[in-house]
Chain A
Amino acid sequence: DAKTTQPTSMDCAEGRAANLPCNHSTISGNEYVYWYRQIHSQGPQYIIHGLKNNETNEMASLIITEDRKSSTLILPHATLRDTAVYYCIVRVLGGATNKLIFGTGTLLAVQP
C-alpha cells in the first residue's frame, strides 16, 4: 500500500471549515483513499473514502486531485467535538491483504 504524508498538527476556529491535506504521491490506480479519526481514548471512527471522484457524506467531503497524488478532507463547520487525530490511509480493496496501515495522522485542534 502507498505511503501517506500528513501535517503533524493543525488548528481551526470553531464554526469554520477545517481542511486537512494528505499527500499520497505513490498511489496506485486501484488504491482507495480512506479517512478515519480518533478522538482521545476511543477507537478510530470511519469518516469517508474515495477512489477518483470527490465524495461527500454527512460528516465530511473528500476532494481528490485529478492525478490522485493528494487529497483534502473538509469538515465544513468544525465544532469542538471534531478535535481528534485524523488519519489518511490508502488501501487496495480485494488485494492480498485487508489491513489498514495507519501513520501518525494530523492532530486537529478546534479552538473556541
Chain B
Amino acid sequence: DTGVSQNPRHKITKRGQNVTFRCDPISEHNRLYWYRQTLGQGPEFLTYFQNEAQLEKSRLLSDRFSAERPKGSFSTLEIQRTEQGDSAMYLCASSFLAGGTDTQYFGPGTRLTVL
C-alpha cells in the first residue's frame, strides 16, 4: 500500500491555460474525493466519486472545472481557462466503506500557481 499519490506535485501556468491533475487512490478504495485549499484555510470539498460515478459536486466547482474517474480507479481534475484565483493546493483523498466506517486518506496535493 503506497498511499494516495498525486501528480504533478507542483504546476505553474499562465492565466488562460488549461491544466490537468491526476490522483491515484489507495488500491481497492472505491471512493475518491477532491478538495481545494488556499493559504491559511482548511481544505474545501470540491467533488466526490463512488467507483466511476460522480455523486456530489460543490458550488465551488464552476463550469471551468471538470473531474473524471473513467474506470473507477484513478481520477483527473481539469481546470480550463485558469484564473489567478485558482491558485491553491488541490488535494485528493480516497476511502473504502467497511464496517460502518469510511476514513478518508489524503495524498500530498498538487500546488497550482497561476501567473
Residues of A within 8 A of B (CB): 34, 36, 41-46, 49, 85, 87, 93-94, 97-105
| B72 within 8 A of partner (CB) | no
Interface residues in B79-115 (C-beta closer than 8 Å to A)? 91, 93, 95, 97, 100-109, 111
Total interface residues in chain B, CB < 8 Å: 28
Do residues B108 and A102 form an inter-chain contact, with CB atoms below 8 A? no
Do residues B41 and A104 form an inter-chain contact, with CB atoms below 8 A? yes
- The residue in chain B whose Cβ has the minimal distance to the Cβ of A99 is B45
Known: A93-B102, A98-B102, A99-B33. A43 touches B41 (CB 8 A): no
A41 to B107, CA, bound (A): 11
**Which A residues are in CB contact (< 8 Å) with B105?**
46
**Which A residues are in CB contact (< 8 Å) with B102?**
93-94, 98
CB of A36 to closest CB in B, whole Å: 8
Identify 20 residue pairs between A and B in the complex whose beta-carbon atoms are under 8 Å apart, listed by A's number.
A42-B108, A42-B109, A43-B4, A43-B106, A43-B107, A44-B93, A46-B103, A49-B101, A93-B101, A93-B102, A94-B100, A97-B48, A98-B95, A99-B33, A99-B45, A99-B48, A99-B56, A100-B33, A100-B104, A102-B42
**Which B residues are in CB contact (< 8 Å) with A36?**
106
| From A42, A46, A85, contact of B104 by CB (8 A) | A46
Do residues B106 and A44 form an inter-chain contact, with CB atoms below 8 A? yes
| From A46, A98, A102, contact of B44 by CB (8 A) | A102
| B31 within 8 A of partner (CB) | yes
Query: Which of B41, B42, B43 has the largest number of chain A CB atoms within 10 A?
Result: B42
Give B22-63 as 1s and 0s: 1 = Cβ < 8 Å from A's Cβ atoms.
Answer: 000000000101010000111111001000000010100000
CB of B113 to closest CB in A, whole Å: 13
Do residues A43 and B108 form an inter-chain contact, with CB atoms below 8 A? yes
